[in-house]
Amino acid sequence: MSNNLTFEMEKDLLIKGWMSHDARWFMAVANRFGMEVANPLNQMVCREIGRVEMKRCMKTLAIPEPNDLEEYLTLNKAAMSLYGSGLAEYEIKILDHQSYQMHLKRCFAYENILRAGIKDQYECGILARIQGWIDAQGLKHELKPPLGKCMMVLGKECSYTIRLKFDQLER
């Protein structure tokens, strides 16, 4: 079968398969235990998955922990292309030497919670995954605003400011 598939087609199938599993896991937990249990578990699992996948990526590519924002953003852009290809559209705006703003213009989680009819109850898991990536890179960070209800559902722009601490004394 793989002889007829390009690398991009295989990657797309694997990513969509993983996201289908993720959505069904979330809904199974929500249906069995309620959204008040599903949301924090989802954020915890997303952060752990992010930590594991970034550690594997860095180890496989022999990439050390980043020393500055440019190195960090380069690695995260590659990870987003690998793990989230086609799932979101976003822009990055650098604010200073250790801070940036991430603006999601399109988000698969938002689209799926609308279809599932749980938009008023869902709390963001996407940024939890990115927090896991940050953890794996050995960095401390501040996220503003803190994770909570989906911003798009609230009628707001999905925009987060992330301040990283690169100074060895701050880690």
pLDDT band of residue 49 (cuts 50, 70, 90) is very high
**pLDDT for the residue 63:** 92
pLDDT at residue 114 greater than cutoff 50: yes
**pLDDT for the residue 171:** 46
140 alpha-carbon distance from chain centroid: 16
Average pLDDT over residues 117-130: 91
pLDDT at residue 94 greater than cutoff 70: yes
For the whole model, what pTM was predicted? 0.88
Q: Which positions ≥6 away from 109 have C-beta within 8 Å?
A: 122, 124, 125, 126, 150
Residue 163, strand partner residues: 99, 142
Q: How far apart are CA 51 and CA 75, in angstroms?
A: 13
Domains of the chain: 2-165 (3.30.1380.20)
